[in-house]
Amino acid sequence: MNRFDAMAATWDDKPARIDRARRVADAIAERIPVRTSWSVVDLGSGTGLLSRMLADKVGHIVLVDTSEGMTAQASARIAADGLDMTAVCLDITEETPPGGPFDLAVSLLTLHHVPDVHDFLEEVCALLAPGGWVAIADLSSEDGTFHDDPTEDVQHHGFDPAHLAHVASSAGLVEVKVEEILHLEKLREGGPRSYGLLLLTGRAPVTVTAT
């Protein structure tokens, strides 16, 4: 059992998690011309909070997560609500999600768990249809206090926006933008703290072949 398995059953109980997923979905829909015909992949989907907030704006969504517990919660919710989604348990750094090419790849707070961001973004780019979109939300650079358990093993303490944009472009994405879209508030020793949430958007290139 990994630590996300242990949190899966109560993951959706925190209103702040639901609120941030709603606000990220709104930010995505404000920036990307989503359509109900689009196929979407949610990378590190957890219980599917972000996907559920996007469900009425897009077509079929494939939820992928390495946690069996999160995937089971997502599957139960999909079945209970009759959602047009499939939840698959796999490691996005090692396996290719089924159902591609996708019109849109989304992700919320998973990128800081990925060791090699450049390689990962190259793989995400390869999952997309030509001209397909990516929308990845994760923390702005932080001091390591974001997670409630300070010993939690993460790969990155957030990201510098300019550096993340550079890495995304070098991984092959075009029309890259990284914007701070909201702040996440947490209570820490010494008082309330605010952590920036970035949204990376970009597109897979459209290759034009000479005739």
Ligand X SMILES: C[S@@+](CC[C@H](N)C(=O)[O-])C[C@H]1O[C@@H](n2cnc3c(N)ncnc32)[C@H](O)[C@@H]1O
Please report, as ranges, the residues that interact with ligand X according to CB under 6 A: 4, 17, 21, 44-46, 49-50, 64-67, 70, 91-93, 108-110, 113
Q: Give the Cβ contact number of residue 175 at 10 Å.
A: 13
> What backbone torsions phi and psi does residue 65 show, to the nearest 5 degrees?
-155, 145
Q: For residues 186 and 170, what is the distance between their CA atoms, to the nearest angstrom?
A: 33
Q: Give the Cβ contact number of residue 194 at 10 Å.
A: 10
CB of 46 to ligand X, least distance (A): 3
Closest to ligand X by CB, 50 vs 104, is: 50
Closest to ligand X by CB, 88 vs 205, is: 88
Cβ–Cβ under 8 Å, residues 144 and 150 = yes
Q: Which of 105, 112, 135, 130 is nearest to 43 (CA)?
A: 105
CB of 198 to ligand X, least distance (A): 14
Closest to ligand X by CB, 112 vs 203, is: 112
CB of 12 to ligand X, least distance (A): 8
CB of 57 to ligand X, least distance (A): 17
Q: Give the Cβ contact number of residue 75 at 10 Å.
A: 18
Closest to ligand X by CB, 93 vs 205, is: 93
